[in-house]
Chains A and B, each alone.
Chain A
Amino acid sequence: MEQGIALNLVVMMFVMMITLVILTITYFAMRRIIFQEIMRQVQTVRKVMTILECPICRYSLVREFKQGDYVGKLCDEYCPRDNNRLIITSIIKE
């Protein structure tokens, strides 16, 4: 009788262990999938840059986008070569 009870316990523990192993594997697999998704989203954030050009000598300057920038805008930045005002020619995502 006592042997029977001990055997019952062993079998029960064995099955519970298998369940626990399946649970652990699934937990780590799901964690990996979710973190991969987060990393993918973080990596796709790209900076937006504004390219300014001098209309005369084609000198170009690249800086980060500022609210109010648009293509064709005459900016407050000046060309270091001939002192003309720079025009925005492109706004792109790097």
Chain B
Amino acid sequence: MIETFITHVKNHIYVSVMIGEVLTVLVMEGVMQTASDNWFFILLLWILLFTIPFLFSDYIQLWRLSYTISNFINFLDRIVTSSFTSVVNLIEQLLKSERTSESRIRIESSIKNLMELVVIEPTTLETQGLVKKLKLLVNFYNDKLERDVSLLIPNAERPIIQNLVNAVESLRVLNYIYKTVNHYYRLGMKYRNPYPLVQIYVLMPFIKEVVNALSGAVSTFLKGQPIGDSAGPLTAFKFLKQCKSVNEIKHTIKDTYICLCEFEDRKVYVVKALGPGGTVGHLDDALLYLIERSGVKPKVIITVDAALKLEGEKTGIITEGIGVAIGGLGIEKFNIETIATKYGIPLYAILIKMSIQEALTTMPKEVSIAVDQVIEKLKEIIRSVTKPGDEVIFIGVGNTVGVSQ
């Protein structure tokens, strides 16, 4: 911040002194009623003063934009470096507590490799089976991240490894944003074209918001605190505490928790990711398991998730909806909608509104209050849509970091 300020001041001094000197010469000659042997020089100076901005407007714009964007890129670099250092420091700390040692250089190079990891999207030349291909890639990607992180800290508990994996994923996205912005900046400077820079300049406030959210997410995941996106799993947790006779259902689906509880003579199957480590689970596989393997015939499927609020909306506003409230690439949404359509099951959604920063950092108080209100809304929907003896599936969608079951 201080360096930016000093650079600002220096640049301003140079420009002001230059303008001051030019003005001094012009005014002096004007006051002296222009000596006849200098008239050509003065005329040239006036012409240049008025035509240079028009002739070189692109270069002036380029200089102005490059100055702003290079400061922004320095800011992004600082954020990426500080988040990277936090992750490496935590891994070192965990290794020290287990009395195992690993060189810092090796830890840094492993994390840097994971930050540069690329997932190549499947071809869209033929779209048949695209969702299955995407699901396979996503599962491979998650397994690889977890495997590589657990190689660094082999004796750590699974929740800690999952939290680290989430932090490394956020770091990867941060790194990608930094490299993309840097790429367009360098392209613009290489070809002396201000228009790639104008694009970055226009998007800068939005990119800054996302970057602040992601850097907050890294530190929140490292501490294992629930984030705003954990609103869905937290709703499931609190709902289970109010139910009678909670029975966990054994299954083979990874990182997913399914249980059966009784609410006012209805059988409610509650599905959420398996916490308290950071994971989103496999909610579509859980639904498929319940309906096709366990023979559950639900009257309704209710999903609860966090949603991004619009400017002007308050955090914690609850909205009802129709459809599947689930984010991500759309793989799980596609599968849940397919199953619901096949069996003709209505889909209800309850959304808790929050900003992107609140969704990715520690859960704010307003969201926690909203969760209690969502439970009442959930009960209302169950009472109004079903009758005693019916079955309901309730899915608490979101990352379950810091929330167990």
Cα A65 to Cα B37 in complex, Å, equals 80
In this assembly, does A71 line the interface, its C-beta being within 8 Å of a C-beta of chain B?
Answer: yes
What mask results when residues 11 to 32 of chain A are scored 1 for a CB within 8 Å of chain B, else 0?
Answer: 1100110110011001100110
In this assembly, does B17 line the interface, its C-beta being within 8 Å of a C-beta of chain A?
Answer: yes
Asked whether, in the complex, the Cβ of B24 is within 8 Å of the Cβ of A70, the reply is: no
Task: Using C-beta atoms within 8 Å of the partner chain, give the interface range for chain B.
Answer: 35 or more
Query: Which B residues lie within 8 Å of A19 (CB)?
Result: 16-17, 19-20, 23
Query: Which A residues lie within 8 Å of B243 (CB)?
Result: none
In this assembly, does B362 line the interface, its C-beta being within 8 Å of a C-beta of chain A?
Answer: yes
Query: From DSSP, what is the main secondary structure of chain B's interface residues?
Result: helix
Asked whether, in the complex, the Cβ of B365 is within 8 Å of the Cβ of A71, the reply is: no
Chain A's closest residue to B4 (CB) is: A34
Cα A70 to Cα B238 in complex, Å, equals 14
Nearest Cβ on chain A to B181's Cβ, whole angstroms: 20
Given contacts A11-B27, A15-B23, A65-B225, contact A71 B402 (CB under 8 A): yes
Query: Which B residues lie within 8 Å of A23 (CB)?
Result: 12-13, 16
In this assembly, does A80 line the interface, its C-beta being within 8 Å of a C-beta of chain B?
Answer: no
List 21 A-B residue pairs with CB atoms under 8 Å apart, sorted by A's residue number.
Answer: A11-B24, A11-B28, A15-B23, A30-B9, A30-B12, A34-B1, A37-B1, A48-B362, A69-B224, A70-B224, A70-B226, A70-B275, A70-B403, A72-B237, A72-B275, A73-B276, A91-B362, A91-B363, A91-B402, A92-B363, A93-B364
Chain B's closest residue to A89 (CB) is: B238
Chain B's closest residue to A7 (CB) is: B31
- From B16, B225, B404, A48 is in contact (CB under 8 Å) with B225
Task: Using C-beta atoms within 8 Å of the partner chain, give the interface range for chain A.
Answer: 20 to 34
Cα A71 to Cα B405 in complex, Å, equals 8
Nearest Cβ on chain A to B244's Cβ, whole angstroms: 14
Q: 17 more A-B contacts (CB under 8 A) besides A70-B403, A71-B403, A89-B238? A: A11-B27, A15-B23, A19-B19, A23-B12, A23-B16, A31-B5, A37-B1, A48-B225, A65-B225, A70-B224, A71-B237, A72-B403, A72-B405, A73-B276, A92-B362, A92-B364, A92-B365
- From A4, A12, A27, A93, B361 is in contact (CB under 8 Å) with A93
Asked whether, in the complex, the Cβ of A16 is within 8 Å of the Cβ of B28, the reply is: no
Query: Which B residues lie within 8 Å of A73 (CB)?
Result: 276, 404
Asked whether, in the complex, the Cβ of B223 is within 8 Å of the Cβ of A22, the reply is: no
In this assembly, does A83 line the interface, its C-beta being within 8 Å of a C-beta of chain B?
Answer: no
Query: Which B residues lie within 8 Å of A22 (CB)?
Result: 16
